[in-house]
Copies of this chain bind each other. A is one copy, B any other.
Amino acid sequence: MPELRQDPTTREWVIIAVERAKRPSEFQGQGATTRRTCLLSQRQSCPFCEGNEAMTPPEIAAYRKAGTAPNTPGWWIRTVPNRFAALRVEGQRDRREIGDFFRMMDGVGAHEVIIETPEHCDTIGIISDSQAEEIVMMYLDRFLALKKDPRFETITCFRNRGSLAGASLLHPHSQLIATPMVPALLRQRLEMAFRYYDDHGACVYCRLIERELAEKTRVVLDNDDFVVFEPFASRVPFETWIVPKMHMSAFEDIPRDLGKALGRTLNAALRILFEKLNDPDYNFVIRTEPLREDHSVYFHWFLQILPRLTTMAGFEMGSGMFINPMPPEKAAEFLRQTGESPQN
C-alpha cells in the first residue's frame, strides 16, 4: 500500500510509493561519465578558474593570500556579482499597483556567486574539511554584509550541482540572492511553525529532531552539533536535511564555531551522496527567517538537500504533492551502509 505522509513543518502531503520503490542503487547520477573527466580546455575558458579572474565582474570579497591583489590569483574562496544577475543592486525598494490590481516592484536585490575553490573539478563532498569550513564562513560574511542593506528582506543561499539542477557551469559555486520582499513560501513555512508553537508551546523543528533521534531509522549522521536525516515526508529520493541541535531562527546568528561544524557536516553528508549515488545532480538551500523579522521562539534554520534524480511532472506542478518512489527509511539505511558503493 502506498503511504500519504505529511511534512510536520509545512503540512504538505507526499505520496511515498512503497510498492513502486526502486532499489536505492537504481538511483544514480551521471557523475562518473560526465564530470570526472575534466579537460584542461574547459579550465581555460572557465570564468571561475584561477587565472581567469578578469572573466568575472570585480570581486566583492575574497579569502586570499596576504599580499595578493583583488581579481588576481592567490585566492581560495571568491565572491563576485552574478554576471547574469536576476536582480539589480541599484535602485530603491518601490512598490506600485497597476490598474488598482496588479502589484509590482522594481527588481532591486543582490545576486552573488561564491566560487568555492580554485579547483575546477572539486566539489563539496570531496574537498577538505577546512575548505568546507571556509565556504560556510563566506556564507556567513555575505549574510552579515547584505543584512546591513535595509532594502533587503530575505536572503536565499543555494547551490546548483549539475545541469539537471540548473547549473550552467561545472566549477563549484554557490549563490546568494537577496530579495526586497519575503517570498510567499517562506511566509507559509513561518506560519506553520507558528501554528505548531501555538498548539504545543514548542518549536516544531526541535521536536522533529527529538523524534528523528528517538526513531533513528531515518538518521544518516549525528554529531554534537547537527542531525543529518532523510525527512519523514521526503519529497524526492534521498532528500536530506541538516538541522542544528541548537535552536536558532536566523542562520546569520550562529557562532563561527558552529558555522565551521556546518561546513564539516555538509562535506560529510555530500560525500555520502557523492559516493553512494555517483555524484548526483542536486540543489541545496539554507532555510532561514527573514532578515528584518524575529521568529526566534518558533522558527529554526536548517539546510535542505534535494537530489534531482526524478522529474517533476504535472501532478507535482498541479497539486504541490510529490510522488516519491524511495521511502526515506530505505534511503537512510542505504546511505548509512559503509563499504564499497555499487558503481565503484
Spell out A's residues near B (CB within 8 Å): 1-6, 8, 10-13, 15-17, 20, 84, 86-88, 91, 99, 101-107, 154, 156, 158-160, 163-167, 175, 177, 179-181, 183-186, 188, 207-208, 211, 214-215, 232-233, 283-287, 304, 306, 311-321, 323
Is B106 in contact with A1, judged by CB distance below 8 angstroms? Answer: yes
- Name the distance in Å between A37's Cβ and chain B's nearest Cβ: 23
Partner of A104, one of B5, B154, B164: B5
Report, nearest first, the 6 A-B pairs whose CB atoms are least far apart: A166-B313, A2-B107, A185-B320, A285-B318, A158-B314, A283-B314
Is A86 in contact with B318, judged by CB distance below 8 angstroms? Answer: no
Query: Chain B residues near A285 (CB, 8 Å)?
Result: 314-315, 317-319
- Name the distance in Å between A101's Cβ and chain B's nearest Cβ: 5
- Name the distance in Å between A106's Cβ and chain B's nearest Cβ: 5
Query: Chain B residues near A323 (CB, 8 Å)?
Result: 86
Given A13-B184, A84-B20, check contact A102 B8 (CB 8 Å).
yes
Query: Chain B residues near A165 (CB, 8 Å)?
Result: 311, 313-314
Query: Chain B residues near A20 (CB, 8 Å)?
Result: 84, 86
Is B313 in contact with A181, judged by CB distance below 8 angstroms? Answer: no
A214 to B208, CA, bound (A): 50
Query: Chain B residues near A87 (CB, 8 Å)?
Result: 2, 15
Residue of B nearest to A208 (CB): B101
Partner of A180, one of B4, B167, B286: B4
Query: Chain B residues near A321 (CB, 8 Å)?
Result: 179, 183, 185
Query: Chain B residues near A102 (CB, 8 Å)?
Result: 5-6, 8, 211, 232-233
Query: Chain B residues near A12 (CB, 8 Å)?
Result: 183-185
Partner of A311, one of B166, B287, B316: B166
Query: Chain B residues near A105 (CB, 8 Å)?
Result: 3-4
Is A103 in contact with B315, judged by CB distance below 8 angstroms? Answer: no
The SS class assigned to the A binding surface is: mixed
Residue of B nearest to A310 (CB): B166
Is B177 in contact with A315, judged by CB distance below 8 angstroms? Answer: yes
Is B207 in contact with A86, judged by CB distance below 8 angstroms? Answer: no
Residue of B nearest to A157 (CB): B318
Given A104-B6, A287-B318, check contact A311 B1 (CB 8 Å).
no
Is B154 in contact with A319, judged by CB distance below 8 angstroms? Answer: yes
Query: A88, A165, A320 — which one has the most chain B CB atoms within 10 A of its CB?
Result: A320
Given A156-B315, A158-B314, check contact A3 B106 (CB 8 Å).
yes
Given A2-B86, A184-B320, A319-B154, check contact A8 B107 (CB 8 Å).
no
A10 to B320, CA, bound (A): 13
Residue of B nearest to A183 (CB): B319
Is B107 in contact with A1, judged by CB distance below 8 angstroms? Answer: yes
Query: Chain B residues near A166 (CB, 8 Å)?
Result: 311-314, 316
Given A8-B103, A102-B211, A319-B156, check contact A13 B181 (CB 8 Å).
yes
A320 to B158, CA, bound (A): 12
Partner of A15, one of B107, B154, B214, B233: B107
